Amino acid sequence: MRFIALFSLCALFCSSLLAQQAKKKSNKTNTVDMWVTSPVPTLPTGVTHHTFRSDSMKREVGYCIYLPPGYATDTERRYPVIYHLHGAGGNETRSVYSASVLHEGILAGKLPEIVMVLPNGGRSTMYQDSGDGRFMAETMMIKELIPHIDATYRTIADRKARCIEGFSMGGRGSTNLAMKHPQLFGSLFNQSGNVYHVSDSKNLPNAYLGDDPQRLRDNDAFLNLEKNLDYIKANLRIQVACGTADPDHLTTVREYHEALTKLGVQHSYFEVEGLDHNQKKMIDGRKDTWFDFQIESLKLNQVPLHYLKP
């Protein structure tokens, strides 16, 4: 009896451990049901949750949107937009803390009124279309979400008033999209996002994009930087940052910074001493200046900005 009880206890422990490992492993696995978060957690002031129909994926996709305080009352005003992309394993609610920091700055009169869109980009898509066509994250973002936002909300539907940024996978995704479609954005802020030479199969972290050589070249941020170099130099402002205690991301972030420098692309680059892979810590360490780069980009592009009186 003692042996049976011990065996049962061991089996129960092993089953629990395996379940935990499976859950940990699967939280970054792409599945067809990952595109709308449910239930939606409590959201910060000004942030609401919505869905829209993605024809490319034949399903609803969730997004959160922050609308500034004046949006409801000043019905003639249009606003610039920041698209903020979440990291791997996340969803449309993962990065709403950044929207709360934006809201605080707007209320204090330090930041202009800006719309922030936080889309669901899947668990591990890098905001690119998968090689097998199951997960059309890039198509959804570029051809469906941005037009939907511009048609549904009072945005300034112009690349000069459209910023893109993200942390980790979101940093990588925002870089992929901005290098491939620079005509859609006025500024890019990569926050600790790996940037890989995906056309080199030895450096490809997974098989998500497939193995077609031309497809890999078309989705290589470094090659797209070279392809669109003249336009990027003239029209896209870039900022890149990473923590020095983030070894899984710092190497490729530095490689991207070095590529920009070598090609003569003016950009802002900084490393945060001792910071690991943690977006909240990165923001909190420079909360008062966190949005300065994006705001400066909007000003240089002569986008009309409106400040609240504190």
The residue with greater pLDDT, 146 or 4, is: 146
How much is the pLDDT for 205? 52
Q: Is the peptide bond before 39 cis (omega within 30 degrees of 0)?
A: yes
Q: From residue 164, how far is each of 6, 81, 188, 241, 262 by CA, in Å?
A: 56, 8, 5, 14, 23
Whether 127 contacts 150, CB under 8 Å: no
pTM score, two decimals?
0.90
Domain boundary assignment for the chain: 1-30, 32-300
- At 253-268, the pLDDT tens digits run 999 999 999 999 999 9
Asked whether residue 6 carries a pLDDT value surpassing 80, the answer given is: no
How much is the pLDDT for 33? 80
How much is the pLDDT for 14? 39
Asked whether residue 161 carries a pLDDT value surpassing 90, the answer given is: yes
- At 9-38, the pLDDT tens digits run 444 433 443 344 333 434 668 887 889 998
How much is the pLDDT for 8? 42
- At 57-79, the pLDDT tens digits run 999 999 999 999 999 999 999 99
**Range from 13-17, 139-143, 228-232, 296-300 carrying the lowest mean pLDDT:** 13-17
Asked whether residue 4 carries a pLDDT value surpassing 70, the answer given is: no
Nearest Cα to Cα of residue 99 among 83, 88, 80: 83
The pLDDT mean for the chain works out to 91
What number is the average pLDDT over the span 123-136?
Answer: 92
CA–CA gap between residue 201 and residue 206 (Å, rounded): 9
The number of beta carbons lying within 10 Å of the beta carbon of residue 252 is: 18
Asked whether residue 99 carries a pLDDT value surpassing 50, the answer given is: yes
Q: To the nearest whole percent, how much of the chain has pLDDT over 70?
A: 89
How much is the pLDDT for 24? 40
- At 165-219, the pLDDT tens digits run 999 999 999 999 999 999 999 999 999 999 999 888 665 555 788 888 899 999 9
Burial class (CB in 10 A: 0-12, 13-18, 19+), 150: middle
Asked whether residue 84 carries a pLDDT value surpassing 80, the answer given is: yes
How much is the pLDDT for 48? 98
Asked if the 32-300 domain carries CATH number 3.40.50.1820, the reply is: yes
Structure tokens at 255: 């490689």
